[in-house]
Structure 1
Amino acid sequence: MSRTYKRRPDARLCGSNSLQNLEAALAEIKSSRINLHSTAEKYGIDKMKLSCLMNNKHQKKPGGQTVLTNEEEIALVQNLLRASSWGFPSTEYDIRLLIKCYLDQQGKKVKSFQHNLPGKDWVKSFLNHHRCVLSVRLANNNKCCHAKVSPEARLIQGT
């Protein structure tokens, strides 16, 4: 089972300001109507956050950075869906090996993975992140010849 992380009560709130407030504050500063300190007080935004936004610093998201980009994750999900539609569903271990092979081919070394192999928690989090598209199911061991139904049998069954 994947771990559930809880925010510490004393942790700082990243991204607690609305996007409209930030844009309005930046527009006021750029038009040089008000200085940085009074703009931060007016909109209730931390002045260091405004300063970083003005100077284009700290562009990454707060917290740990992801191993795969959004485009890579979307491509992986599409490939997993395509393989399952062909009759080859993937297990969690298959996904781990697929990520390891991809990282090795790209020449990426991820320090948090042993030998570039993601852990079980990483796969659980990945599946949880894409739960609207991917799901874990227990499949029966049916052979293809048993799974195929002829058109005559469909007529008899009424489907």
Structure 2
Amino acid sequence: MPRKTIRKPGTRTYQNYSHNTLETCLRAIRLKLMSQRAASDHYKIPRSTIKIKLKKYHGKSVGHSTVFSREEELCFAQHCVTFANFEFPLIPIDLKMTICRYLDSKGTQVPQFKNNIPQDDWVNSSLKRHPEENKNCGLNEDLVGQAFLDRL
């Protein structure tokens, strides 16, 4: 099943506005440049959404929380960047096995991972959350060998 669903024509539209548009709308209302109703008509954002955002209800992100804490994810990202600095690119299976070994050493069983090995969609989501991980993934063997010899 694909991670991103494709909407069928004629179905209800959800959030047809960007985060920047919403912030601009809320700023205009807070500065009393527009009323809620006028801002709703101008920015094409539902008035109920504007009211909820102004009262700061539902502050958390949608979906379940990430498997690892922010510090752990940054540690994994730094791990990938360190390898990339030594011209040794990690492929997704290397990252998966690193995560698996980490969870096994902690004695933690993650129900979202089969045998504590993350799936491809988790790796893709992690790369989206930490774009610095994806820094040098496309190096070929000649460049890696030459970079290694240059460092000697």
**What is the CA RMSD across the aligned residues, in angstroms?**
4.3
Q: Distance in 1 between matches of 2:116 and 2:151?
A: 46
Deviations 1:35-79 (A, max 9, x none): x55653465321221222122122234466554566654443332
Identity %: 22
Identify the structure with the greater helix proportion: 2
**What is the alpha-carbon distance in structure 2 between the residues aligned to residue 113 and residue 93 of structure 1?**
14
Distance in 2 of aligned mates of 1:42 and 1:150 = 59
Residue of structure 2 equivalent to 1:49 = 49
- The residue number in structure 1 matching 2:25 is 21
Q: Which residue of 1 aligns with 2:82?
A: 82
Q: Name which one, 1 or 2, has greater alpha-carbon Rg.
A: 1
- Structure-1 residue corresponding to 2:135: 133
Letter in 2 for 1:96: K
The alignment's TM-score, normalised by the length of structure 1, stands at 0.56
1:12 and 1:77, CA in 2 relative to 1: closer, same or farther beyond 3 A?
same
* Cα contact 1:127–1:135 (8 A) shared by 2: no
| Number of residues of Structure 1 aligned to a counterpart in Structure 2 | 141
Local SS of the residue matching 1:148: helix
- Partners of 2:105 and 2:12 in 1: CA distance: 38
TM-score by length of 2: 0.58
Q: For the residues of structure 2 that align with 1:12 and 1:76, how far apart are their CA atoms? A: 36
**1:64-98 deviations in whole A, cap 9, x for unaligned?**
65545666544433321212434654332221122
Change (3 A) 1:149 1:115: closer
SS in 2 for 1:45: coil
Corresponding residue for residue 154 of structure 1: none
Q: Compared with structure 1, are the counterparts of its residues 112 and 14 closer, same or farther at alpha carbon in structure 2 (3 Å cutoff)?
A: farther
What does residue range 34-113 of structure 1 map to in structure 2 within 5 Å?
Answer: 34=35, 36=36, 40-41=40-41, 43-62=43-62, 66-68=66-68, 72-86=72-86, 88-102=88-102, 110-113=110-113
Unaligned runs of 5+ in 1: 152-159
Gaps of 5+ in 2: none
Q: Does 1:7 pair with 2:6? A: yes
